[in-house]
Amino acid sequence: MFDFYNISSRALTLFPAETGHRFALKALANGLGPRGNANKPKGLNQTLWQRTFLNPLAISAGFDKNGTAISGVLKLGVGFIEVGGVTPRPQKGNPKPRLFRLEKDEAAINRLGFNNLGADQLLSNIRQHNLIYTNSSPIGVNLAANSDSTDPSNDFEKLVDKFASQVDFLTVDISCPNSKNGLVFLSPKPLQDLLDKLIEIRDRKDLKSPPALLVKLSPDIEYRELDILVEVIVNAGIDGITISNTTIKRPKDLTSPNQNEVGGLSGKPLFLMSTEMLRYVFKITGGNIPLVGVGGVSSGADAYEKICAGASLVQVYTALVYKGPKLIFQIKNDLAKLLEANGFSSIKDAIGSKN
């Protein structure tokens, strides 16, 4: 009998990392994933950006770059979805191998460099999903500039223009360590100019239900710079901040042979770093802007910690490689139990409660 759990878990660990990922995504796209969407533990729902989130959990950007498995991923029981990163034109990304498992550390290093089929293909896949599932959970797109682009700002502008009417949120990824154009906006003036333009493009469309605009930050930003960048983001009128992307740092206690590969480190070793940054940003923003907590989440307790540190929503990626797709179901159940055990009747009350 075909068992998705076993086959996908074996695929994720036996094959080279990128092949395993492709296999798992194909299985999900073909409806072979476990069904966790009927499981709706109490207290996890909330309204954000005028949208209903049945639970705060999603798989983070980079998992379904081309939106080929949107309904399969939603059936796992996530509360929302973020596809991409997408660039305006298709691009191949960096030469392979470019994705490495650090098994002993429950981590990964990637330097994919935004391999994707481009914005037209993703848009077509999202439209197709929206036609069939008229009452879908919120969908977001992670946006990136082409690595050979001479005007990365213009790339982001084109993407906002293209996707604004089709999705619930758009995440501006200015924190990818693997792309030449990934980090050019990590200083105040270029960031402010970019965000002003993107907000203007979205607002000019005068949509009935405009998408929220989010910015995704790197955990490698020094806190002095972070203060200034967050001020720019908040003053621009951005709707949310995602914390965080992968890190180029290598914590000293890594033990896996692949630890010196170049790229962004994700998974367990990122948890502390990204959660402390999340906690800090919640503090300096006074909890006035919704935060998405991502980095090293591998259990309900981790998700709970992100929420108490200030996250309204939580994303997971690398832990799925080690624990398989049933992790989504487990995190949701354990999170609901932890909220109840700590006296919270709703997730809203727990957000930032340990800050």
**Does residue 240 belong to the site contacting ligand FMN (CB under 6 A)?**
no
The residue within the footprint of ligand FMN, chosen from 34, 62, 152, 210 (CB under 6 A), is 62
**Does residue 291 belong to the site contacting ligand FMN (CB under 6 A)?**
no
Site size with ligand FMN, rule: CB under 6 A? 27
Q: Which of residues 157-176 bind ligand FMN (CB under 6 A)?
A: 173, 176
**Does residue 296 belong to the site contacting ligand FMN (CB under 6 A)?**
yes
**Does the N-terminal peptide bond of residue 8 adopt cis geometry, omega within 30 degrees of 0?**
no
Write down the least CB distance from residue 322 to ligand FMN, Å.
10
**Does residue 219 belong to the site contacting ligand FMN (CB under 6 A)?**
no
Query: What DSSP element (H or E) covers 302?
Result: helix 300-309
Write down the least CB distance from residue 315 to ligand FMN, Å.
7
Stretch that binds ligand FMN, among 37-45, 59-67, 226-234, 277-285 (CB under 6 A): 59-67
The residue within the footprint of ligand FMN, chosen from 108, 122, 164, 221 (CB under 6 A), is 108
Could you give the residue ranges of the DSSP H alpha helices within 44-187?
A: 70-75, 119-132, 152-163
What's the gap between Cα 168 and its chain centre? 14
What is d(CA 18, CA 216) in angstroms, rounded to the nearest whole number?
24
Q: Which of the 8 DSSP states describes residue 296?
A: S
Toward ligand FMN, which CB reaches closer, 69 or 108? 108
What is d(CA 14, CA 289) in angstroms, rounded to the nearest whole number?
41
Toward ligand FMN, which CB reaches closer, 240 or 267? 267
**Does residue 66 belong to the site contacting ligand FMN (CB under 6 A)?**
no
CA–CA distances in Å: residue 95 to residues 15, 110, 143: 18, 12, 21
Q: Using DSSP, state whether 338 is helix, strand or coil.
A: helix
**Does residue 98 belong to the site contacting ligand FMN (CB under 6 A)?**
no
DSSP sequence for 154-196: HHHHHHHHHHTTT-SEEEEE---TTSTTTSTT-SHHHHHHHHH
Q: Contact residues for ligand FMN (CB under 6 A)?
A: 60-62, 84-85, 99, 108, 110, 112, 114, 142, 173, 176, 216, 245-246, 266-267, 270, 294-297, 316-319
